Each structure stands twice: as C-alpha cells, then as structure tokens.
Structure 1
Amino acid sequence: MTDWLTVTPGDAPLIVAIPHAGTDIPAAIEARLADPWRARKDADWWIDRLYAFAGALGATTVRTAISRSVIDVNRDPSGQSLYPGMTTTGLCPLETFDGEPLYHPGEEPGAVEIEARRAEFFDPYHAALTGQIERLAANGPVVVYDAHSIRSHVPRLFDGQLPQFNIGDNGGVTCAPALTAAVEAACVASGDSHVVNGRFKGGWTTRRYGRPETGVHAIQMELAARGYIDEPATATAATWPTPFDPARAAPITRTLRDVLTAARDFALSQRA
C-alpha cells in the first residue's frame, strides 16, 4: 500500500476495482489547473464508501486515491478511444465531462509528462490489480468487478437520464453470459432501471482483464449517482458533491451486496 494506492486482499474469488473515487492532485499539477474543483467534479464520488461492505464478502479491493484528472487508470494507455465516434476523455484528460478546460492555456501536459504520470500511477495500479488476479486465479476462476458511478445527466456524453444500473461486458466478450445474467437479475430484483451494454460497455480494465476462456471474468458496473446521493439540478462548487449518508444509500447498498454476492457465487460455482 502507498499513500495513493490501497490494496485490501480477500480470499474470495472476487476483486472490486475502484479506479475513479480518488480526488488527490499533486500540488505541482493543481497549480496549473483552471479550477481545482472542476478537476474533481467527475470523480466517482463516494464509491469507496458505497462498497465498504465488500471485504465482509471476502472480496479483494484495489483502489487509487489519485484523481482521474491526473491520469485515468481506466483508459487505454495507447490513447485509442474506448468508444470510437463518441465523446469521451483520455488518459490524461484536458477537459471535464461537460467540455470545460481543466488547465490554464499552455499548461496542458505534453507527451513526456503523460508518460511520466503513466509510470508513476497507471502502471503501479495495474501491476497491483494484475498481482491480485494472479493470486486468486491460481486456485480457479475469478471475477473482476469494476465499480463506477456518474451523474445521472451529462448531456455531452449521453441523452436523457442514465439508467440506475449500467452493466458492461463489452458485448458479451469479457465474461461468461451466466455472470452477466446473475448480476442483471440482482438489479432487476431492485425494481430500478438497468441496461446491459448501453452507453457504458466496460472500460479498459474490463476489456484488458476479461478473458473468460482463461477463467478471468470481468464486468463493469456504472451507477447513476442518484441511487445513493442527492443530485443537484446543476453541479457547481457549492452544490456538488453532496455528502454521503449511509442511510440514504441503504437501498442501493442492499442491491449491490446482492450483486457482489452473485458475482462471488458465480466464481465459486466455476471452481466446483
């Protein structure tokens, strides 16, 4: 564990990756930002708290505290878009989801700095994740569950209101259909809206590690944030993020516990 990377090992064949809950920005980078709040706005707010129960299920968690505005550990490091033809952000984003510039003019990171950030943060994060996958996969199939959230309305990225639960397996490529079905069933039971492979089909983590033919099954869950915190009509420094309240989040926490239990039990069934 470092001051920005936390790995909490468990014994169950389930890994919960949390790549975007971090808000830490090195001071030298923050000084070049147009607005430090803006650079934190698109964090997956409170996801680490929302999934705090994962350890009780025996899951391993891998989490970075570094802001996605510094480097996005869920993007293809080659720079290739995960969603060709659609608006998205890159490895070291230059703008927010809403299209606002992150840096003062002329202060954007160049190729050399991007490579340095990759070596300092991206590579160690994925080395930790790979190490945990290898540790658990030594005993049989394992599930990598990539945990995310986003504001329910981001017009630049998608039309209208996002479904509550957005399940991604990259079109059935990154995990067995039975895992997707089990996760989907838990979402259906909640009574809230859901979609499989909608706007979010799975980021680089899901696509990189999901190799069901080798026993590594990866699936992404993108939550609409309204499921566990109140969302303002307009996100400003004064209104966003809203505080995390365990009581407010209790209903979706119950569903997510069912989701992770289903994922763990799927992996265990593959080991029988």
Structure 2
Amino acid sequence: MRISQPLSYRLDLPQQYPNSAPSAPLVLDSPHSGTAYPPDFAPAVAFGALRTAEDTWVDDLWGDAVDMGVPLIAAGFPRAYIDANRAPDEIDQLLLDQPWPGPVNASPKVKLGKGLIWRMLDDGTPLYDRKLTVEEVTHRIEACWKPYHAALGQVLDSAHQKFGKVWHINCHSMPSVAGAYATDRPGLVHPDFVLGDRDGSTSDPAFREFIATWLRERGYNVTVNDPYKGVELVRAFGRPAEGRHSLQIEINRNLYMDEVSLRPTANYGRLKSDLRDLTAALIDWTRSQTA
C-alpha cells in the first residue's frame, strides 16, 4: 500500500497492514531521497550539482523492507529545498532578506551553511544568488517539513501502540570522503557504515550494537557515533525511556554507486541483499525484545 502527499512524502506500507498497524516494531525513514524539485525553487547552481545533496538510491536500497512487513517513509522534496533532518529553528539568517520572526538556533550545521535551508553545497558552492524571504521559508516548512515529521510520528506511534516499543532506523548515505563544507572534519575518509544514536541518548545501545556486530560479521567497516552521531529526526523521535529507539545509519556511497554519475555500480545488488538480510534479522530481534 502506498500513501503519498504531493511533494512532502511517500509512505510505503506493507500489504498485510491491519488497521494501519505494522507487523513488526520496526520503522524506516529516508529523509533525503526526495527528487521532486518544486517549481518555486530557483537555485543558482546546475541541476547536476543539486543532486549531489540527495541520498541517491537510499530508499530503494532499503525498499525490500516493505514486502517484509516494515513501513518505509521517504521524503518527496529534495534536501537542497528544505532539510527534514534539521530542527525548524535552525534558520540561517545569512540567507534571509529580513530577520526571522521566531526562535533561531545557530547550531553547528547552520554555521556550516547546512541549516534547515541550505546556504551552500558540500564543496562550498552557494545555492542562491539572492536572499530568501521569510514567506518562502515558512512555505517550505508548512508544505514539506511539518507533513513529513507528522507522517513519521504517526507510523511510529502506531507501532508503539501495538507492540509497546518501537525501533526506528533513520536511513542516510555519505560520500566516501567528507566535503570541505559537509562536516567539521573535511577530507575524512569515511568507513562503510556509521551508526549514530547521539551517544546512546536516542536508543538503547543494544540496538546499535546488534546492527554493528551483524554488519562487521559480513566484512563491513563500521564506526559508532563517529563522525556522525545523528541529528534532528533521531533526536525528535528517540526516547528510549519510553521504549522508542531511534538510530541513524549512514552508508558510504562508494559501496553501491559511482559518486560522479550517481549510477549504481556492480556491488549494488550485493548491498541491497545484505540490507534485506539485515532487515530480516532486525524483525526477529525487535520481536524478541517485545515477547
């Protein structure tokens, strides 16, 4: 079953969903896979450069989960338009033609030019040749950010209500080498996977350790909370004391695609198969935690 709201998100639900409740206490989301570029988006960079901001193929890599009984929500809008993995107060005032009327959080991501609305790409290329209006930013929040967060929250609530607990994977990709303006560690060569739970604050560490062990046993190089700890979505939805566990998973793009052409490589099928097997293992593991 597919539910979609134009522009904001696509929600893929397992066919066997009874009353919209999941068959396992596991939910996936991919906030940076959107490719629907809105007509009001007028950046000053070429379309090909914009696409480097996408988590290309991530929703498809995890897509087998839906047939296995696990819901997957993916953003329809691109991250370059508005970033669903930022807080709504992470406003970059350098982008605006007038002061923002609400609270402003000058977070490290904002200082990198990667706030709620990006100011530049990973290589430092400015996204705009003009200032944005408060009305433009407000529209993006109302049309994209809020519906995406609301839909994810509803799916997580449904699983939590049925099982008493829920485990959430926030799915991402990362370049093989960190860009000059991507993080505070430019030039870092990334491992195969980075698991982030904000140093154990968004999930019981057993969740990340189960996944880390599983991936390492299959030959992957995995780090935990280094260099990525997880950002807004795991922070907003991860409340382990309430049985709500959220983990960010970053996958090295070099594992599955050409980072210039964005086309899948010969290893794509192997990685997708491994993620399917990991999902099956997680279904069994999460069910055992609620038995």
Distance 1:103 1:16 in 2: 32
Which residues of 2 match residues 181-192 of structure 1 at below 5 A?
181-192=209-220
- Residue pair 1:145, 1:219 contacting (<8 A) in 2 also: yes
Distance 2:6 2:110 in 1: 37
- Residue pair 1:21, 1:46 contacting (<8 A) in 2 also: yes
Tell me, yes or no, if structure 1 residue 42 matches structure 2 residue 53: yes
| Of 31, 37, 41, the match for 1:19 | 31
- Residue pair 2:29, 2:72 contacting (<8 A) in 1 also: yes
Tell me, yes or no, if structure 1 residue 59 matches structure 2 residue 101: no
Distance 1:207 1:263 in 2: 21
Tell me, yes or no, if structure 1 residue 101 matches structure 2 residue 126: yes
**Corresponding letter in the other structure for 1:253:** K
Distance 1:151 1:22 in 2: 17
Aligned to 1:174: 202
In the TM superposition, residue 180 of structure 1 has moved relative to its aligned partner by 1.1
Tell me, yes or no, if structure 1 residue 212 matches structure 2 residue 237: no
* Structure 1 residues 34 and 229, CA gap change in structure 2 (3 angstroms): closer
**What percent of counterpart residues are identical?**
28
In the TM superposition, residue 84 of structure 1 has moved relative to its aligned partner by 6.7
In the TM superposition, residue 88 of structure 1 has moved relative to its aligned partner by 5.8
The 3-state SS of whatever aligns with 2:5 is coil
| Of 18, 25, 28, the match for 2:40 | 28
Aligned to 1:146: 170
Distance 1:88 1:95 in 2: 6
* Structure 1 residues 261 and 86, CA gap change in structure 2 (3 angstroms): farther
Distance 1:81 1:198 in 2: 22
Superposed CA RMSD in Å reads 2.0
Runs of at least 5 residues in structure 1 that lack an aligned partner in the other structure: 232-238
Aligned to 2:19: none
The 3-state SS of whatever aligns with 2:170 is strand
In the TM superposition, residue 26 of structure 1 has moved relative to its aligned partner by 1.2
- Residue pair 2:113, 2:119 contacting (<8 A) in 1 also: no
CA shift digits 1:179-223 (9 cap, x unpaired): 111111111112121100001111210111001111111001001
Structure 1 residue runs of 4+, over 3 Å off? Answer: 80-88
In the TM superposition, residue 99 of structure 1 has moved relative to its aligned partner by 1.0
* Structure 1 residues 74 and 184, CA gap change in structure 2 (3 angstroms): same
The 3-state SS of whatever aligns with 1:41 is helix
**Corresponding letter in the other structure for 1:6:** R
In the TM superposition, residue 100 of structure 1 has moved relative to its aligned partner by 0.6
CA shift digits 1:24-73 (9 cap, x unpaired): 2112213x433232222110011122112111221101111211011000
Tell me, yes or no, if structure 1 residue 201 matches structure 2 residue 229: yes
When normalised by structure 2's length, the TM-score is 0.83
Distance 2:134 2:207 in 1: 39
Tell me, yes or no, if structure 1 residue 90 matches structure 2 residue 115: yes
**Corresponding letter in the other structure for 1:68:** R
- Residue pair 2:170, 2:248 contacting (<8 A) in 1 also: yes
The 3-state SS of whatever aligns with 1:218 is strand
Distance 1:121 1:199 in 2: 28
Distance 2:175 2:115 in 1: 19
Distance 2:191 2:108 in 1: 19
* Structure 1 residues 168 and 83, CA gap change in structure 2 (3 angstroms): farther
The 3-state SS of whatever aligns with 1:184 is helix
In the TM superposition, residue 86 of structure 1 has moved relative to its aligned partner by 7.4
Aligned to 2:267: 248
**Corresponding letter in the other structure for 2:76:** A
In the TM superposition, residue 16 of structure 1 has moved relative to its aligned partner by 0.7
Distance 2:143 2:117 in 1: 13
Tell me, yes or no, if structure 1 residue 257 matches structure 2 residue 276: yes
**Corresponding letter in the other structure for 1:93:** W
Runs of at least 5 residues in structure 2 that lack an aligned partner in the other structure: 15-21, 91-104
